[in-house]
Amino acid sequence: MGPIMTAAAIGAGAVVAVVAAPVVLGAAGFTSAGIAAGSIGAKMMSAAAVANGGGVAAGGVVAGLQAADQGLVPGR
């Protein structure tokens, strides 16, 4: 594969990742209204809260995924 095809493949992969990210985060329970009850995101949040003595740490994985969902979908 030549350099132009490699660059095109990288560009296409980046576009797919940006388009798919909100769908994947929503399916995991990270919604515009917060983390959906009973979802994978809720289980992650619960585990993070237990590990941190009752609260979810700012800058942690769960907080980061929630923030990413908010920032990836225009108009939220």
Q: Is 59 left (phi over 0), alpha (psi -120 to 50) or beta?
A: left
Q: Which sequence spans correspond to the domains of the chain?
A: 3-72
Q: For 9-47, write each residue's pLDDT tens digit.
A: 999 999 998 888 888 888 999 888 889 999 999 999 999
Residue 4 has pLDDT above 90, yes or no: yes
Distance between CA atoms of 42 and 29, rounded to whole angstroms? 7
- Parallel, antiparallel or unpaired: strands 30-31 and 34-35: antiparallel
- The whole-number average pLDDT for the span 54-63 is 85
Q: What is the pLDDT of residue 29?
A: 92
pTM check: above 0.75: no
